[in-house]
Amino acid sequence: MTPRLFAAVYPPTDVAGRVHAACAALRDAAPTLRWEPAGRLHCTVRFYGPVEAGHSAAITVGLAEAARLFDPLPVEVRGLGAFPTWGRARVVWAGIRADPNFEVLHHEGEVRSMARGCEVEGRWFRPHLTLARIPADAGGPVRRAIREAARGVRVRERFTVDEVVLMSSITGPTGTRHEAVARAPLGRH
């Protein structure tokens, strides 16, 4: 099976742990959902999808080129939301407010990927940490319970983005596993 690749930013372990702990009420409101453990909380900068082995090297180079254009970027994890809306939620997230250059980093990664033969992702970049995925067949009561629980949750953490990690997502019989393929440090050299 061809692995799916994505570029991501990971908060430091202590920040991820505090965000996860702050969201305990959400997990309690809907314990049967697929909640992300603290160690897997990340912000996807670019999703590439299934990529053949030879093409991942070109993506790695493009990602490294884009990352070198930026100094480390301050971000704040703040607030909760759902895609597309709370009433039709498929993803529950913690928002990320970032230095405007974070979006430019996303754009530069997109441009460099395109120059190496990747298709444009074509989505609006809305930085967030995915907390849970909600199956399509989950009923309205589950979505309402999460929305109600979210009203009492306060998330506010800060950290500095100093690298973007190219990750491989591999689905197997025991679930999905993420493995780092390459790291692209931010910093003008």
pLDDT (0 to 100) of residue 175 = 78
CA distance from start to end of the chain: 37
pLDDT (0 to 100) of residue 110 = 83
Catalytic site residue from 20, 106, 128, 178 = 128
Beta strand 175-185 with 4-9 is: unpaired
Task: Tell me, yes or no, if 42 is annotated catalytic.
Answer: yes
Q: pLDDT, tens digit, for every residue of 1-35?
A: 677 899 999 999 999 999 999 999 999 999 999 89
pLDDT (0 to 100) of residue 130 = 96
pLDDT beneath 50, residues of the chain: none
Catalytic site residue from 20, 42, 106, 178 = 42
Task: Tell me, yes or no, if 128 is annotated catalytic.
Answer: yes
Residue 24: partners with Cβ closer than 8 Å, 6 or more residues away: none
What SS3 class is residue 54?
A: helix
pLDDT (0 to 100) of residue 188 = 67
